[in-house]
Amino acid sequence: MRTVELTPRLRSVAELVPRGARFADVGTDHAYLPVWLLQQGRITGAVASDLRPGPLERARGTAEKYGLTGRMDFRLCDGLSGIQPDEVNTIAIAGMGGETIAAILAAAPWTWERECLLLLQPMSAQPFLRRWLQAHSYTIRRELLSREGDTLYTTFEVYAGPMAELTPAELWAGRQTRGEGSPLRLAYLDRLLRQTERAIAGLKRSKRPEDASRLAELEQVHQGLLDTKEEWLSWQR
């Protein structure tokens, strides 16, 4: 039987799943990720959950197509509400915004108490999610970048435990490590620089007094990103 083909975005999550993990895929949609992991022998079973019946039915269909229905549990639930703490030790939450991911974790403090491995792939609000993780004593061990078309995605490998305080620029771009170069890092920094440039230009046109503090904050972030880019380029020389 042929193997599920993962997109680069999902492959970056799959690469971080340890062999033998008790795995849950939150917001599973088609369940391609857990099906691929099962086919590769990386895991022996999986819980696939989704908030809506339609995506969960698609997940069941994928599992049936590849003969894996008996090795997967399907849960219709909000976030982790339908998953018991002793069922899993590795959790993927991908394909949703950073604020939604934070809300899911806030409603499931056992992910911290039991020191689960969290594989988080926020589609938006990355600075918010990094700040939330830091404030709630989670640590981002590393981040993987992937590209699909013109879009860059970031996958966080997260564990329980305090994290060294992130700078304003690191809240936006993550902490870069000299020994773990990614060919996409420069493109990622350039994207964030363009994003902050546009936001700064808009705030400078604003007449609202309350936007002044936001402008100062973003200018600090932008300068930090410029410094981060220069540091990265110096490592590549």
Give the count of domains, the chain.
Answer: 2
Q: Examine the domain organization and report whether 156 and 196 are in the same domain.
A: no
pLDDT tens readout for residues 167-218: 999 999 999 887 666 889 999 999 999 999 999 999 999 888 888 999 999 9
pTM value is 0.95
171 falls within a domain? no
| HSE toward the beta carbon, residue 216, CA cutoff 13 A | 4
Per-residue pLDDT at 180: 61
Range of the structural domain that residue 204 is part of? 184-236
**Residue 63, burial from CB neighbour count under 10 angstroms (0-12, 13-18, 19+):** buried
pLDDT tens digits, 16-49? 999 999 999 999 999 999 999 999 999 999 999 9
Mean pLDDT, range 151-180, rounded to an integer: 92
Determine contact, residues 82/75, Cβ cutoff 8 Å.
yes
Cα–Cα dist 25/11, whole Å: 14
Q: Are residues 119 and 17 in the same domain?
A: yes
CATH number, domain of 113, equals: 3.40.50.150
Handedness of CA 91, 97, 101, 104 (dihedral sign): negative
Count other C-beta atoms under 10 Å from residue 16's C-beta.
19
Based on the domain organization, do 221 and 139 belong to the same domain? no
Give the whole-angstrom CA distance, residue 229 versus residue 197: 15
